[in-house]
Structure 1
Amino acid sequence: MPSTVAFQRSLTKARRPVARRLTAAVTVLVALGLLGLVPPAQADDLNDKAAALAQQAQDVQTSLEFVDSGIAKSAADLVTYQGQLPGAQAALSDAQNRVSAATGVVTSLAARIDLAQQSKDKITAQIAADAEKATATKAMIGQIAAQSYKAGGLPVNLTLILGAGSTSDLANSIDLAEQALRSQTAALEALTAQKATNQNAQARLVAVEAEIKDLKQQADAALVAEQVARDEAASKKATVDKLISDSAALNAKLEAEKPRIQAQLKQVQVQQASVSAQIAEIQRKEREAAEAAAKAEAERIAREQAAANNNGGGGGGYVPPPYVPPAVGDVSAFGLQHPFAANVPITSPFVRNRPVPPGTADFNGTGYYDHTGIDFGAACGTPVYAPADGTVRLAGQTTVVWGGGNVLWISHGVVQGNALMTVFYHNSSVLVREGQSVKRGQLVAYSGNTGNSTGCHAHFETWLNGTPVDPMLLL
């Protein structure tokens, strides 16, 4: 907590019309009508990128919070879509690369299967041809054996007994038998070699058939993978096409709505300036009244002391001393408690002079907007409790605040020279009425989505001495 003097100086330095928080809202709106691709968040982690993009969309939506809920939602969606587009296009490119890779695998396997099938056909034909050769060789061996038997297969003495014509005839018969025997031996050797060749060919055929079976299984799996990759690529392309289509539609909508929003913005700015003036006037009167009361009390005490002195014999008439107001005290003296019982996350913080989102055009040289409160991500129906004792200044639906829905203003009076008011917008219902006194921790409302709001949340402001300040400095 800063010192009282430093805190007051920071308030003086930061004091600007509240309408500034809407002055640059049209910056976002007008620029989004002319928006190109919003650069993706520069973060290493994908979750950080998603969070940064979500915050960027939230910033756009916050800047248009009190202008038009539909336009705020469209503008935020446009930022989201265009921020997601580069990633979606990269995912599509990656999916298409996987399709190309899967197609290459399928083509390669098909070529390998074709080669293996050709090898199988060749081996099968070779085995069939070798079988024919073996059959012919076996037949030839049989013929040789028969001729050998006829020509000279009998012992010489038996031939003579059976009546060989002459010694010359017998010699010729023996020569023929020897020749036949040599031919038979050669044929047997060829048959043995052919058998070994056939066995090798048969082994190669078994291996090729196993290879073909394995390749076909791989090809089936590759075809499935290719189809999965094609389906994924088609899905990614549909996502990209939709992002482009939705972005174009929203861009056209924002462009068409620009004149109406600009006119409405001027009205909102006037009304917001009026709201700021009203709160400042309320708190000015409260501080003046508190100071007058303190002065009157000081004078009363001084008169009583003077009277006591006169009764005791003192002389002269009473002249009241000049009143010197005490120094402004610490704002922590209000003892504000959190308006929610649970730990509700902050979706948009208090920010002075927040730049418009990257990629947007500057409008009238402003290039910023003020978010003079805190948006809490409270679900609809979340109980809202009075942060401190006070008096209800405004409650329920009202034309005082454009787009605030069910509003609640609680004045917490003046403590140590400081006037404080807490403000709640977009409540689903308000349980107290104007002029009612409330106690610290009392249930006063339920958060909601009324007014110009794009979702359940609670907009909470703290006004100190006529100026909005960061509630987190007070809670």
Structure 2
Amino acid sequence: MAGYGRWSMPRTIAGAALAALLAVGVAASGAVADDLDDQKAQIEDSIESLEGDLEYLDADIQKTAAKLKDYQSQLPAAEAALAEAQGRVQAATDEVSALAARVELAQENKDQIARQIAEDEAKYKDVRKVIGQIATQAYKRGGVSGDLSLILEAASDGDLANGIDLADQAMRSQNAALDRLGQQGATDRNAQARLVAVEEEIVGLKAKADAALAREQAARDEAEESKREVDALVAQTEELTDELAAKRPKIQARLSAQEAEHAAVLADIKARQEKLLREAEAKRKAEEAAARKNGQKSSSGGSSGGSSKPSTSVSGWGLSKPATGGYITSRFGWRPTPAGTIDYGGMGGYVHAGVDWGFGGACGSPIRAAASGEVWFAAMSATSGKKVTISHGVVNGHALATNYHHMSSYVVSVGQHVSRGQVIGYVGTTGNSTGCHLHFETILDGSAVDPLGLL
């Protein structure tokens, strides 16, 4: 859809902003917006509104810009998905590390228990060996020999009684050690049970660790896929931005030509309206002079070209809606440049000089004269397509004209007088238009004003 005006759209600076998506660190694990239907609807609404904002561009440029908008809209969700996937990688990595630490600790515990059991077993064997030696010697000699005295480090005088006492003390000492080792043996049997439990724990922990490693790998694969998606979106965004930028000189030249054409049309209308105003003023003065001469009041109301028939659908300017049905798709006024698009005109936006009515994409609805008047223009324009301009004369002290653009056809001719509500053509999409619609303008004293303020 199209209308006259000056163009400008700011260029996307994709570099730093988009590259930041690739530097997303590990984020706290959180769900990406799970209402994908709403998100999709928001993106589609954004792209649909873009068509109105880019109405002065060719359909292929709009299509490219819509793709760009789509990719840009998908980037935040892709970024969030990447951050979440990286968070899962970190969580899985932490789990693997924690399980590995637990396995190591359990293994150390197992080794410690095994060493303690081995040490106690060795001590037990040594004590039993010494006790056996003492008992054997005592049995063979019916007493304690000199050799045993030497073993027990008997007194230097070799007194037998002393030697026996020392042997008894040695036996008692070894038996006490044996008792202690017996008690330790019970402890070691418990330790053996604990050793079995630890070994089972290690097996279980290793199984968990293997599962955690599998989850980590899956998370890494998912993160890599998310990163590839982000990389692709960034690359596509940059490619389309560059593509639109490359077309900028051609588009600027065409927009300049369109702006010049529009200015020439307005200048022509303004000149003719100024003539109407001068003629109306001259007529008013002549009527006043004649009235003074005849002693009568002037009959001039300072208005012409409008119907005197009362109608609830007619505004104070004598205008009625130029089409039945349809809905407003674009209003009059300043239209800021959509974020992320190319600045073609350098003004940050443009003025949409009229109001657009859409008809669900269908052409052919009848277009009616908003008020009675004279057809000033009925021809084909490169920008406006098949268009009609009707002068409604001087209304409320101002020269008023209406423009009807992008018709599929018109059924009036220059110089023809038409009545309010008379069919003058049919809705189309000729000229610089990307869909069936009526672009309607109101020109007041040579300047485009908001039609909704006059209807």
Residue 192 of structure 1, CA deviation: 0.5
Q: Does the 8 Å CA contact 2:266/2:446 hold for their aligned counterparts?
A: no
Map 1:294-373 onto structure 2 (within 5 A).
325-327=300-302, 332-339=315-322, 341=324, 344-351=327-334, 370-373=351-354
2:242 aligned residue: 248
Distance 1:252 1:342, change over 3 A: same
Q: Does the 8 Å CA contact 1:287/1:417 hold for their aligned counterparts?
A: no
1:458 aligned residue: 438
2:58 aligned residue: 69
What is the alpha-carbon distance in structure 1 between the residues aligned to residue 431 and residue 264 of structure 2?
18
- Of residues 458-467 and 366-375 in structure 1, the stretch that sits farther from structure 2 once superposed is 366-375
1:390 aligned residue: 372
What is the alpha-carbon distance in structure 2 between the residues aligned to residue 210 and residue 367 of structure 1?
65
Distance 1:152 1:444, change over 3 A: farther
What is the alpha-carbon distance in structure 1 between the residues aligned to residue 143 and residue 120 of structure 2?
39
What is the alpha-carbon distance in structure 1 between the residues aligned to residue 392 and residue 85 of structure 2?
67
Residue 420 of structure 1, CA deviation: 4.0
> Deviation per CA, 1:149-196, whole angstroms, max 9, x where unpaired?
99999xxxxxxxxxx99899xxx9x97998997676444322201012
What is the alpha-carbon distance in structure 2 between the residues aligned to residue 103 and residue 370 of structure 1?
51
What is the alpha-carbon distance in structure 2 between the residues aligned to residue 100 and residue 262 of structure 1?
48
Q: Does the 8 Å CA contact 1:413/1:421 hold for their aligned counterparts?
A: yes
What is the alpha-carbon distance in structure 1 between the residues aligned to residue 332 and residue 384 of structure 2?
18
Q: Does the 8 Å CA contact 2:386/2:406 hold for their aligned counterparts?
A: yes
The amino acid of 1:77's aligned partner reads: A
What is the alpha-carbon distance in structure 2 between the residues aligned to residue 178 and residue 271 of structure 1?
124
What is the alpha-carbon distance in structure 2 between the residues aligned to residue 103 and residue 239 of structure 1?
22
What is the alpha-carbon distance in structure 2 between the residues aligned to residue 115 and residue 367 of structure 1?
60
What is the alpha-carbon distance in structure 2 between the residues aligned to residue 141 and residue 445 of structure 1?
121
Task: List gaps (5 residues or longer) in structure 1.
Answer: 1-19, 41-45, 154-163, 303-317
Residue 244 of structure 1, CA deviation: 1.3
> Deviation per CA, 1:259-313, whole angstroms, max 9, x where unpaired?
xx537734762465146525763795699599979989x98xx9xxxxxxxxxxx
Map 1:114-125 onto structure 2 (within 5 A).
114-125=100-111
Q: Does the 8 Å CA contact 1:92/1:237 hold for their aligned counterparts?
A: no
Residue 462 of structure 1, CA deviation: 1.6
Residue 373 of structure 1, CA deviation: 1.3
Residue 147 of structure 1, CA deviation: 11
The amino acid of 1:461's aligned partner reads: E
Task: List gaps (5 residues or longer) in structure 2.
Answer: 18-38, 145-163, 307-313
1:37 counterpart = 2:28: no
Q: Does the 8 Å CA contact 2:373/2:418 hold for their aligned counterparts?
A: yes
The amino acid of 2:453's aligned partner reads: L
Map 1:163-242 onto structure 2 (within 5 A).
185-242=179-236
What is the alpha-carbon distance in structure 1 between the residues aligned to residue 4 and residue 370 of structure 2?
27
What is the alpha-carbon distance in structure 1 between the residues aligned to residue 387 and residue 345 of structure 2?
32
Taking structure 1 as the reference length, what is the TM-score of the superposition? 0.58
Residue 107 of structure 1, CA deviation: 3.7
Q: Does the 8 Å CA contact 1:346/1:377 hold for their aligned counterparts?
A: yes
What is the alpha-carbon distance in structure 2 between the residues aligned to residue 379 and residue 248 of structure 1?
33
What is the alpha-carbon distance in structure 2 between the residues aligned to residue 166 and residue 361 of structure 1?
122
1:277 aligned residue: 268
1:470 aligned residue: 450
Taking structure 2 as the reference length, what is the TM-score of the superposition? 0.60
Distance 1:136 1:408, change over 3 A: same
Q: Does the 8 Å CA contact 1:391/1:410 hold for their aligned counterparts?
A: yes
State, as a whole percentage, how many aligned pairs show the same letter.
20
1:405 aligned residue: 385
SS in 1 for 2:321: coil
> Deviation per CA, 1:29-59, whole angstroms, max 9, x where unpaired?
8xx7xx573999xxxxx99999999978855
What is the alpha-carbon distance in structure 2 between the residues aligned to residue 294 and residue 432 of structure 1?
38
SS in 1 for 2:231: helix
The amino acid of 1:69's aligned partner reads: D
Q: Does the 8 Å CA contact 1:284/1:465 hold for their aligned counterparts?
A: no
Q: Does the 8 Å CA contact 1:406/1:450 hold for their aligned counterparts?
A: yes
SS in 2 for 1:458: strand
1:375 counterpart = 2:364: no
Residue 111 of structure 1, CA deviation: 2.9
Residue 199 of structure 1, CA deviation: 3.0
Q: Which has the higher helix share?
A: 1
Residue 70 of structure 1, CA deviation: 5.5
Residue 452 of structure 1, CA deviation: 0.8
SS in 2 for 1:381: coil
Distance 1:266 1:182, change over 3 A: closer
What is the alpha-carbon distance in structure 2 between the residues aligned to residue 433 and residue 209 of structure 1?
93
The amino acid of 1:386's aligned partner reads: R
Residue 473 of structure 1, CA deviation: 0.7
Distance 1:360 1:152, change over 3 A: same
